[in-house]
Amino acid sequence: METIINFGGFYHSIHSQLIDNEVENFICRDNEGNFDQEMYDEYNWKEAHEKYCIAYLDKFEDWLTDELNLKETPKIEFKELISPRFYNYTTDKTKAVISEENSQEIKRALLLSDYAAEFAQYVAERTTSGPGYTSFFTYKEALQNKDGILIEYILEFMAELYNSEQLIGGIHEVNVYEAIM
């Protein structure tokens, strides 16, 4: 089944910082180590972002397995990077494919984990409309998996945890240089 993973995107995020650092410090340097602006300007950012997403999902799968004590590592296959035309309302997201079996296992494991209460609060906040924001789903609809939305909330919630623990926390699980080369 196809799903969307809001992993934090590339607009002013930890992901863009990691990629920018690698590109500026290692890829766009001449033989003497000087920064090459022309090389930087011509760099294929779209390809780098897509390669990064593939590597990110690979590490995210492993982390989910450990964090939720899954019996086997789920396969989350990168399908495409969805980038908004304008970044003032949203950011990049990954379209991915996950099996129904893996989706159900992740849902079950999360709802039985120590994260269950925190996740319920997260869904409550994400489904509460407010000034400038209208939720497409109510809390009840989200938890009842209307239109298959529950796995999207779960993966977004877990991606935020992964980003804060593994990327921002300094444990760079994703080898950015290898991913974008």
Long-range pairs for 22-28 at CB < 8 Å and ≥24 separation? 22/176, 22/177, 22/180, 23/48, 23/180, 26/177, 27/180, 27/181
pLDDT tens digits along 119-161:
999 999 999 988 988 899 999 999 999 999 999 999 999 999 9
pTM: 0.88
* SS3 at position 113: coil
pLDDT tens-digit series, residues 96-123: 999 999 999 999 999 999 999 999 999 9
Task: Give me the chain's average pLDDT, please.
Answer: 91
User: Are 24 and 113 spatial neighbours (Cβ–Cβ below 8 Å)?
Assistant: no
Strand-pair partners of 3: 96
pLDDT at 166: 83
Q: Is the pLDDT of residue 172 over 80?
A: no
